[in-house]
Amino acid sequence: MTKHASNEPFFWILFSAGGMMAAIFIPIHLFLFGVAFPLTWLKAPSYDQLMSLARLPLVRVYLFVLCSLPLFHWAHRFRYTLYDGLKVKHLNELIFALCYGGAAVGMIIAAYLLWNIG
C-alpha cells in the first residue's frame, strides 16, 4: 500500500475532474441520444449534420475529453466500490490494473476513433 502513498492524489484529481465533467455534460448527451432521439421526441441530426460537427477540431477535442475523463472517474469509484462493497481489498493490484487499465484502453480507443474521424 505504501508505494501508492504519494500517487493517490493523481488518481483523485482524475476522479474529481471526471466526476465534474460527467455531472455537467453527460446527462444532456444521454438524454438526446439515448431517449429523445430514439423515442422521436426530437429529430435526430442527419449524418451530414452530425459529421460536420464531429469533424471540427474543437469538437473532437471535446469528445475526447468527454470519453476519457469520465472513464477515470468510473475507474476510481469502481475500484473503491469493489474494495468496500465486495470486501476484496486483498485483490487490490488486480483491481487497480483492471480499473485504470480499462479506462486507459477506453481513452486510447477514443483517441484513435477521433484522430481521423473522416
Partner 1 sequence: MPGMSATKQQTIRPAPAYTEFHPRWYRPKVSVHWWLGEWHYLKFILRELSSVFVAWFVVETLLLIDALRGGPQTYAHFLRTMQNPVMIIVNIISLFFVVFHTITWFNLAPSATPIRLGGKRLPDVMVSAPAYVAWAVVSGFICWMVLR
Partner 2 sequence: MADKIVLEIARYSPESDHEPHFESYEVPVRREWVVLDALNHIKDTVDGSLTYRWSCRMGICGSCGMMVNGEPKLTCATFLSSYARNGNKVRVEPLRYFPIVRDLVTELGGFVSKLKKAKPWLIRSDERPLSQGEYLQTPEQLDRYKQFSMCINCTLCYAACPVVGLDPIFIGPAALALAQRYNMDSRDQGSAERTAVLAHPDGVWGCTFVGECTRVCPKHVDPAGAIQQYKIAAVIDWLKSFVTPRGRDARHVSNQAAND
Site for partner 2, rule CB under 8 A: 1-2, 4-6, 8-10, 12-13, 80, 83-84, 87, 89
Burial of 112 (0-12, 13-18, 19+ CB in 10 A): exposed
Shortest Å, Cβ 91 to partner 1? 14
Which of residues 81 and 91 has its CB atom nearest to partner 1 in the complex? 81
Residues that bind partner 1 (CB under 8 A): 19-20, 22-35, 37-39, 42-45, 47, 50-51, 53-54, 63, 66-67, 70-71, 73-74, 77-78, 80-81, 84-87, 106, 109-110, 113-114, 117-118
Residue 43 DSSP symbol: P
Q: What share of the chain is helix, strand, coil (3-state, %, to 5)?
A: 80, 0, 20
Contact 67, 110 (CB under 8 A): yes
